[in-house]
């Protein structure tokens, strides 16, 4: 290779890197614009637009956007509410770290396969690598619950709520654990907190009614 072509080659490399950087910046700007538009459309009078905005935020948003989508859990349209619940879970599962997201996905698969010990190991790696990621704690709490280790599950629920006070999944988890432990008043309190955040939890609503009935039967008429 002669000197002229060598110099041209050296010029091409910086130009290629610059082009990639420009493309990346354009893509990020488009994503940000799409996210901002979705946030604005959450308050559209058209239910179909609100539903599409929720779906777009689920694709483009960060985990913190879940706080915005949670408001849509009270939407007048049932379809919007259903999409909002799915979007909240999707956003909560987004750590911002591809390796953590991969570990979370693998851990969930292990749980679904009944391999609870391996699931706990994977979720523990998440809590060590990114301790502020609430969903790592929540999924480990779920695994512990399925293993019957209610003490550890409760401790992990505590870690979830420290980081995400709106986590209706963890609040429901408290309720399920206390129900299994026979502590009905504690179970009721947590189920009510979960339902206050997400009024679409039919199973939780039914549990509340059953607990209240049982407490009345036990002579606690004020419940």
Give one DSSP letter per residue of 77-123, joined into a string: SHHHHHHHHHHHHHHHT--S-HHHHHHHHHHHHHHHTT-HHHHHHHH
What residues does each domain of the chain span?
3-92, 98-217
Q: Measured between alpha carbons, how far is 206 from 223 in angstroms, rounded to an integer?
A: 15
Q: What long-range pairs does 112-120 form, CB within 8 A, spacing at least 24?
A: 116/143, 116/146, 116/147, 119/143, 120/144, 120/147
The reply to whether the predicted model has a pTM over 0.85 is: no
- Per-residue pLDDT tens, the chain, 223 aa: give them: 565 656 656 666 565 655 554 543 444 444 556 789 999 999 999 999 999 999 999 999 988 899 999 999 999 999 999 999 999 999 999 999 999 999 999 999 999 999 999 999 999 999 999 999 999 999 999 999 999 999 999 999 999 999 999 999 999 999 999 999 999 999 999 999 999 999 999 999 999 999 999 999 987 655 5
Query: Closest by alpha carbon to 65, among 41, 90, 45, 48?
Result: 90
Matching fold, domains 3-92 and 98-217: no
98-217 under CATH 1.25.40.10, yes or no: yes
Residue that the structure tokens 């379809």 belong to: 79
Q: Does domain 3-92 sit in CATH 1.10.10?
A: no
């Amino acid at each position: 290779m002669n000197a002229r072509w060598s110099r041209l080659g050296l010029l091409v490399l910086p130009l290629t890197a610059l082009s990639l950087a420009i493309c990346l910046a354009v893509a990020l700007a488009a994503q940000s614009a799409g996210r901002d538009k979705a946030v604005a459309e959450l308050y559209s009078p058209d239910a179909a637009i609100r539903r599409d905005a929720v779906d777009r935020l689920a694709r483009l948003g960060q985990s913190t956007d879940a706080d915005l989508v949670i408001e849509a859990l009270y939407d007048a349209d049932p379809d919007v509410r259903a999409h909002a619940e799915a979007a909240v879970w999707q956003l909560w599962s987004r750590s911002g770290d591809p390796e953590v997201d991969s570990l979370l996905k693998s851990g969930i698969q292990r749980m679904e396969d009944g391999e609870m010990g391996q699931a706990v190991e994977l979720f523990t790696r998440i809590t060590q690598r990114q301790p502020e990621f609430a969903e790592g704690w929540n999924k480990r709490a779920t695994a512990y619950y399925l293993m019957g280790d209610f003490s550890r599950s409760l401790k992990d629920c505590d870690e979830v709520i420290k980081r995400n006070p709106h986590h209706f999944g963890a609040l429901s988890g408290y309720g399920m654990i206390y129900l299994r432990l026979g502590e009905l008043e504690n179970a009721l309190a947590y189920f009510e907190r979960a339902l206050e955040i997400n009024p679409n939890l039919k199973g939780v609503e039914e549990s509340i009614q059953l607990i209240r009935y049982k407490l009345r039967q036990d002579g606690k008429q004020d419940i």
